[in-house]
Structure 1
Amino acid sequence: MPDLTPNLNLELPKDNETADIGVINSNMVIIDGKVAHTVSKEEFNLHKSDSIIHHTHANKVQLDKITEDTNGELLYNGKKPGVDVNAVYTLQREVANLKAVSELKDRVDGASGFFYDLFDDRNGGSIAKMDNTRTNTTAELSIGSTTLPVLSVAGFAVGQEITVFDDTNLERPRIAAINGSTLIITSTLTKSYKKGAMVCRSSVVVDTINHTLKFSGWAYPEKIIRSAVRISDTGVFAISNNRPQRLSNGWLVVTVNRGGAGQGVIYCYKSEDNGLTWSQLCYFHGSYPTYSWAGYPSTTSYGTKVSVFFTDLNTRHYSVTFDATTVTNSDLTNKAVLVHTNANMTYNRSSIIWAPDGVLHAAWSTKDTNTYNILYSKSTDGGATWAKATQVTTANDEGFEYIEPCIVLLENKPIIFHIRNITSGSGANIVYMSEFNAGSWSLKSIYGSTIQLYPQKKSTVITDEINKIYIAWHGTDTTHTSTDYIRFSKSVDGGATWSAVQKLVPGQDASITKNKAGKLFIEYVEAGSIKRIESIDDGINWSSPITVSTGSDQAFVNTLADSSIDFDDPLSIYIVDRIPVFKGTWTTQISTPVLVEDVRYNIVPSTQIDEVVAWVDRGTNEELLISSAVSFHDIGGNESYVAATKTSAPMDETITEDQFIATNSVAKQQATLRLTLNRTSVDVDKSVKKLLGAVS
């Protein structure tokens, strides 16, 4: 018998030979140790024989990501495991998916294909994919109707079964034809439906954080229009470099600084009704030695949690983290965590962002030596503790300073944009980008004004999932020596190269954002007014200025940065007569809980099939039931469903597994699996944990 690793019983190749996943014996032990905490020996059964580990093509594709460098060191996706937190998370999820495939092979002999979904967007090897096509009707539907006018027909096809429902009724007609923006169905509706009724293939929502499939409800679009809504009626406020946040429950949260004499306190406000009304959520200040001012907050959010990073305007930086759903007008000063103390002075602007993997990243400027430098730290426990700060820049020259950091994420990696301004002597005023590679922070110039008299200020940055970065800021130059102009540049390759800087319009304090359709907006302050410019061609051309608000003391505009929102006028906060106000125009999904929802998986096997078997793990509760039906059909053919036979068995005290089997008298090219979630009350909060299946 070959030697095995201690945790998962992985086979060790002899001496320095390699296993069939391409690593030597010592690194098999490393793999064993890295993933053992996520699986047990019993769970990690990869169909071992005495001499070989068998795996499917899907297994092989994922295992191929584990390689070695020239020194025999283990690499995962080209990096050492443990160096990149996101890579470790990815490894854990891919191991979970490998386990799912292994479990399927244990259950089924002779299957021609497998499908699985652990609700983490990582089921690339599955032959079944969830069909998330959905839209809403643009008019009420009457009993007897055969036409469904909808917002969009994208993703629908003739022959498909669809689910039509609102908060009262539900039925499942089939599409006979598509005419413009109208779906024509094969049979008349037997029930009536409200305007905005959902028409979908699947209506459920996938929670990729908790890896579950949950009820979504009847979601229909509603246009929200908010204009200069007062957030608070008291105090002198500042909101520089502090974007509003939209939480996972739909609440809006803003953080402001009451900065008058003796009033160095940070206040957080929330709106539970899309910005129509606001209430005070909490407040806090620095806590050293017993009371200290608090100023210049930067805010980020994750789910319903909010984290605020701020300075005491002296030598310290703090963070305060809280769950917005559990605090009400509370003094959270005792929750302030001291992140960094320096010997000299802090600079006013800081920046914080919460990554999808739960890690908080923060950057700030402080005078630890003879000049201001950018510092960085992160928290892996939700802001309870912070790593020792590291210097992003290491200048030691009183003639210039690195200030005003703006931290963003690209592929879950923090990137810091900041300004270098010359305070004496000669040199260039430069807009920089810094990223962490190979154990150190790099420094890349985006724009430089080579004359000391022309400083650049307050960069604002957004990114998207396709390696694009957009940056805007303001500054002077040799042509306009005393008038600041808004400037813009972008990168389409993750910051490797940058477009020529555009000098756009007179103004200061730019805040850039992007909507769901890809339209860019820059809001800014100019001559006592809040204005904006727009671009529909990814920043190549820009509109003329549009006046948003006029009046005395207009300042500090900050837009919400969320490109998933369908907005026409950016959601933003700004100051009018020293009072913070909120505005925006956007379309949101209003959700009403329902009792029954469908999810459909399109199954595309490599050969014709006449049998589908599926296993669904769900939260144990008699108030949540799942039924299933399967359509066997050829490509482009009409879907026709047969009910699947169901058996159920408890897996443990919290999980019940339902098994569904459906067969057809004739083998077909494709199949569609429909699962129906049915609960007795909208208060039932159980969910689906896992889907496994096989076809033959």
Structure 2
Amino acid sequence: MPLETLNQYTNKVSDLPDKPNTQMTAAELKAQFDAAPEELRVKYNEMVNVLKSSITGDSGAENIGIANISGVAGNTVHGQMKDLFDQLKAVVLGQVPNKSITREKFADGAVDFSPVQKEIANLNLQLAASQLVPSGKTYGWDPTTSFGVIVDFTKGKTTAQLNAGDTSLEGKVTMSEGTFVAGKKVTVLGRNPADDSIVKEQATITSVSPLTISPLVNSYKEGAWIKRTTANNTTNGIVFGGVDDSVINNITDATVVNSAYDTSGNGGRKLVRLSNGWLVSLAIDTTNRVAYFYLSKDNGNTWAQSLSYTGLLSGAHVSMYSHGNFIHVLQVPNTASPYVMQHRPIRISTDGLSLEWFSSWSSVDTGQTAFSGVPSLAINGNYLEAAWASKNSTYPNSFNIRYAKGTINADGSVTWGAVEQWTTFNTSGQDMRNPSIITVNSRPIVIFEHVISSTSYYITAMSPSGMANVPSGSLTKSYSYIQPNTTYAQSTPSAIFVPQEIAIKNTLFANATQGVVATLWHGTDSVDSTRNNVRFSYSLDGGVTWTVQKLTSGNSLDSHFATITANKSGELFALWHGKDSVLSPSSDRIFQMKLSGAWGSKEMVTNVLSQYASSLYDPSFNFESPLFIYKDVANAKVGFCGTWTIGVEAPITENTLRLTLTQQAKEVMTYLHHTASLTATAQVNGNFMDKTTTTEETQFTRVLGSLQDIEIEITLTRSSVDDDITINKILGGVA
């Protein structure tokens, strides 16, 4: 959108009557004084968003004017930059006559990339790669794009043991990326079944249907890699790969505890993962008002009670969130009114075998006369953000949203700041409940349900700044309506924030320059007015605007109490409990759906009466099926489910990199840029290439006898598996 001027203020102080105190309330007068600066703040933020935009056709540079420059077209910064680049491209690319690059120009010491040529190659990599090399005179690759060269990351993993002498791979390989080509070399890398040592060898794909290979020299355990390139492709560049020692951990029905304790409260987490890989779950004995903390050190297969807290206020007002190897707990003890909200950390015990309480209980909030629902926690760097719904003597008639921020100290303890009253309603029947707090680029957002006398319902997002509406009346922070006013009940939101670098892996969020705020809740509507259905909404602009989808439908059976999570691949998952007319018409089950570009079909996860799923959310963690605990009513227990990959690659010191050029050549030069010193050799079509090196650059050249297809094989060697080396650029030229 273009930059717009603010020609005048909507509400000015000069518009006030001469004696406003006789005509206006104090709140109205304050709002009038705040209106102009708030309007200026909104307009300023709109301007910043325009200037920061990277959307093609509406980027910041396309909205900034610039004076005319002779010989350069365009009246915006973007327009003139594009014209300059097109002119530069016309000069340096596609204009070199054939055969003007002679054999002598590829002689030892004669071929080198000057800084200017390297920058040209950078431009080639970063801007419109498919149009940059019409004659194929140069080629390049970096983690974001490539032209004129294919770094071949085709790979598959064996599903059965391979033995020395084997040639058939048919039915024994699951492809992870790409498709093998007959006649191409591959590297087989894995562990020897006899002694578990690492073994590898080069082989040739001899046929693809059926899939066959040249006779193997070694034997390999199931799970060996067959790769064209053994190095790994990452967002930062090519790094050393190794032997895959990972396995799929599929837990379908583990028992956390043989009691059907409460796991409800989807706005506050009940399952977390520590940095050391331990899983910790929280379940509530509501009868005896005890919070139990259960620990699994074997990836969810077995669980044992580690800690407990006796003396909760009725209502199970307790939740937790992890930070490194610490867990932060919020709860309300069963004391005489007025009540307090308390916090205490949990850490790994000093013997390293279990968990222990750390520090002592500290008061986050005091003087509250009632609490509603579960408190919610989120981590913001070295800060802990908390939100809850409560009543107090100032606002005794309504549950309101309160917020506090704590500083996480070096020892894991937390120093809490002053509590903020984010809503100030005080009318019986008008309540703010079930908050779910997240942090969006260091800014807290609280998403909650807003009920007015059981006739008006909202799902509202509130933050100190950056939302669609300025503070108004009893909403003391900026806010947006996710679900605007409706006469149909809406309840229990569960929210997450997915960072930009993860969100864009999901094609639905490809333009998520600010990350994704996503939330689930349940409610009714004019179509399904008597039964709850799950709803989903997301925002790509930090909570200003929202897209709403209805995930389930039906007016005879409920789908409700949803929890949301996402994995490292940017896939979102919704879990809830309810009935299904076909799968489970008479009793509740846990169901899930996955969002990967679009929402998939509904799947039933449990096959007995079960309720109140609470999912793990850790965007640095990858899983195939979400990790969650739930209340297994049928078997009187708390259950755990999840499918994810455990284990890591065993590092090795030698990798192979295979490149294919998209144009024939008889003279080839290849240049590697890497972050640290390494040893490298290269062959082009089986012929060793001449090499020159520096600490962070390696250059190869070779003159061939005739024009031919080009495949380059580079062997990379590092001194130690501890050497952290990245190849962040491959450049080259052909003739």
Identify whether the pair has TM-score above 0.5, normalized to the shorter chain.
Answer: yes
**Cα distance change of structure 1 residues 156 and 434 upon mapping to structure 2, 3 Å threshold:** farther
Q: Note if 1:498 corresponds to 2:562.
A: no
SS in 1 for 2:159: coil
Paired with 1:157 and 1:427, the residues of 2 have a C-alpha distance of 62
Q: Residues 358-507 of structure 1 correspond to what in structure 2 (within 5 A)?
A: 360-367=384-391, 369-370=394-395, 371-378=398-405, 381=408, 384-386=414-416, 388-408=418-438, 414-422=444-452, 424=453, 427-435=455-463, 437-438=465-466, 441-447=477-483, 450-451=486-487, 455-462=489-496, 464-465=503-504, 466=509, 467=512, 471-475=519-523, 484-491=531-538, 493=540, 496-499=545-548, 501=550, 503-504=553-554, 505-507=557-559
Of residues 159, 173, 190 in structure 2, which corresponds to 1:150? 173
* 1:222 and 2:237 correspond: no
Give the secondary structure class of the aligned counterpart of 1:617.
coil
Relative to structure 1, the CA distance from residue 676 to residue 326 in structure 2 (aligned partners, 3 Å threshold; closer, same or farther) is: farther
Secondary structure of residue in 2 paired with 1:231: strand
Q: Percent identical across equivalent pairs? A: 20
Read off the aligned partner of 2:387 and give its amino acid letter: A
1:136-535 mapped onto 2 (5 Å cutoff): 136-146=157-167, 148=169, 149-152=172-175, 154-155=177-178, 158=181, 162-167=186-191, 168-173=198-203, 178-179=208-209, 182=211, 187-200=214-227, 217-222=243-248, 224-227=250-253, 229-233=254-258, 237-241=262-266, 242-247=269-274, 250-261=277-288, 264-272=290-298, 274-283=299-308, 296-301=317-322, 304-313=324-333, 314-318=339-343, 320=345, 322=347, 327-334=352-359, 336=361, 338-341=363-366, 343-354=368-379, 360-367=384-391, 369-370=394-395, 371-378=398-405, 381=408, 384-386=414-416, 388-408=418-438, 414-422=444-452, 424=453, 427-435=455-463, 437-438=465-466, 441-447=477-483, 450-451=486-487, 455-462=489-496, 464-465=503-504, 466=509, 467=512, 471-475=519-523, 484-491=531-538, 493=540, 496-499=545-548, 501=550, 503-504=553-554, 505-513=557-565, 520-525=573-578, 529-532=588-591, 534=593
Cα deviations by residue, 1:495-526 (Å, 9 ceiling, x for unpaired): 62433545454144223456769585433156
Counterpart CA distance in 1 for 2:382 and 2:566 is: 24
CA distance in 1, matches of 2:189, 2:637: 41
Alpha-carbon distance, 1:420 to partner? 0.8
Tell me the equivalent position of 1:557. Answer: 613
After superposition, the C-alpha distances for 1:612-664 in whole angstroms (9 at most, x for unaligned) are 3545438xxxxxxx5433355xxxxx6877696778xxxxxxxxx68755443
- State the secondary structure of the residue aligned to 2:359: helix
Matched, 1:548 2:609: no
Moved more, 399-408 or 496-505: 496-505
Q: Given that residues 603 and 670 in structure 1 are in contact (C-alpha distance below 8 angstroms), is that contact kept between their aligned partners in structure 2?
A: yes
Unaligned ranges ≥5, structure 2: 1-41, 53-111, 123-141, 192-197, 334-338, 471-476, 580-585
User: Is 1:593 the counterpart of 2:634 in the alignment?
Assistant: no
Q: Quick one: structure 1 residues 265 and 247, their matched pair in 2 at CA, closer, same or farther if it must change by over 3 Å?
A: closer
Q: Deviations over 1:555-589 (max 9, x none)?
A: 43223346875546x43211235965333353535
Residues 369-417 of structure 1 show CA distances to partners (whole Å, capped at 9, x for unaligned) of 4133223445564764455444544434444111111234667765432
Cα deviations by residue, 1:405-454 (Å, 9 ceiling, x for unpaired)? 123466776543210123x4x75122223355449743333336745xx6
Give secondary structure in 2 for the equivalent of 1:112: helix
Q: For residue 664 of structure 1, what is the aligned residue in structure 2? A: 702
Which AA in structure 2 matches 1:138? T
Return the index of the structure with the highest Cα Rg. 2
Larger CA deviation: 380-389 vs 309-318 = 380-389
Kept in 1, the 8 Å contact 2:240–2:655? The answer is: no
CA 1:381/1:492 → structure 2, altered by over 3 Å: closer, same or farther?
Answer: closer
Aligned mates of 2:356, 2:675 — CA distance in 1: 46
TM-score when normalising by structure 2: 0.59
1:161–1:524 Cα change, 3 Å: same
Residue 581 of structure 1 aligns with which residue?
Answer: 638
Q: Any idea what SS the aligned residue of 2:671 has? A: strand
1:373 and 1:401 in contact (8 A); partners too? yes
The alpha-carbon distance between structure 1 residues 388 and 628, as it changes in their structure 2 partners (threshold 3 A), is farther
1:12-47 Cα deviation digits (max 9, x unpaired): xxxxxxxxxxxxxxxxxxxxxxxxxxxxxxxxxxxx
CA distance in 1, matches of 2:407, 2:151: 32
Matched residue, 1:612:
671
In the superposition, the TM-score normalised over structure 1's length comes to 0.62
The aligned residue for residue 56 of structure 2 is none
In the alignment, the residues of structure 2 paired with residue 175 and residue 509 of structure 1 have an alpha-carbon distance, to the nearest angstrom, of: 52
Cα distance change of structure 1 residues 153 and 335 upon mapping to structure 2, 3 Å threshold? same
SS where residue 141 of structure 1 aligns? coil
In structure 2, do the counterparts of structure 1 residues 692 and 205 end up closer, same or farther at CA, with 3 Å as the change threshold?
A: closer
How much does 1:179 deviate?
Answer: 4.5
Change (3 A) 1:645 1:224: farther
**CA contact 1:226–1:583 (8 Å) conserved in 2:** yes
Change (3 A) 1:506 1:541: farther
**Structure 1: distance between partners of 2:328 and 2:166:** 53
Distance 1:366 1:162 in 2: 64
Residues 640-659 of structure 1: matches in 2 within 5 Å?
Answer: none
Are 1:166 and 1:198, in contact at CA under 8 Å, matched by a contact in 2?
Answer: yes
Alpha-carbon separation, structure 2, partners of 1:670 and 1:391: 66
1:283–1:332: 8 Å Cα contact kept in structure 2? no
The offset of 1:197, in angstroms, is 0.8
Q: Distance in 1 between matches of 2:155 and 2:436?
A: 37
Deviation at 1:192, TM superposition (A): 1.9
Indicate conservation of the 8 Å contact 1:311/1:348, yes or no: no
1:587-625 per-residue CA deviation (whole Å, 9 max, x = no partner) reads 53544635446374869999985253545438xxxxxxx
Structure 1 Cα separation of the partners of residues 349 and 656 of structure 2: 31
Computed over aligned residues only, the root mean square deviation of the Cα atoms, in angstroms, reads 5.3
User: Aligned residue for 1:675?
Assistant: 716
Residues 579 and 145 (structure 1), Cα distance of their counterparts in 2 relative to 1, 3 Å cut: same
Whole-Å Cα distance in 1 between the matches of residues 233 and 405 of structure 2? 28
